[in-house]
């Protein structure tokens, strides 16, 4: 006998019941709708790119200010408490 296996066979003759539940919530709302994805246009890409770049520049400026200005460093430290 191989380790981990038994000689007894498991007999499972019961049919597997198909458990289909009525879908609720968002799935039932979207069941009949067809969802399509459209690529953003050039104007929308430029707007989002501008937002991301400007927020990155602001983040870099705040980090430089945090490292070089002791008053700003103390302010951030005290606000974080």
Angle of helix 42-68 relative to helix 70-79, nearest 10 degrees, comes to 110
Expressed as residue numbers, the domain containing 71 is 39-79
What pLDDT, on the 0 to 100 scale, is given for residue 68? 96
Residue 33 domain flag: no
Residue 20 domain flag: no
Domain count, the chain: 1
Residue 13 domain flag: no
| Rounded to 5°, angle at Cα 17 from 12 and 18 | 140
Residue 66 domain flag: yes
pLDDT tens per residue across all 81 residues of the chain: 556 666 666 666 665 555 555 666 777 777 777 778 889 899 999 999 999 999 999 999 999 999 999 999 999 999 977
């Amino acid at each position: 006998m191989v380790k981990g296996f038994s000689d007894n066979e498991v007999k499972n003759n019961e049919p597997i019941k198909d458990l289909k539940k009525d879908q609720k919530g968002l799935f039932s709302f979207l069941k009949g709708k067809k969802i399509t994805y459209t690529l953003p246009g050039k104007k929308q890409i430029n707007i989002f790119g501008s937002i991301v770049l400007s927020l990155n520049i602001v983040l870099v400026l705040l980090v430089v200010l945090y490292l070089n200005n002791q008053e700003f460093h103390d302010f951030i430290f005290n606000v974080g408490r």
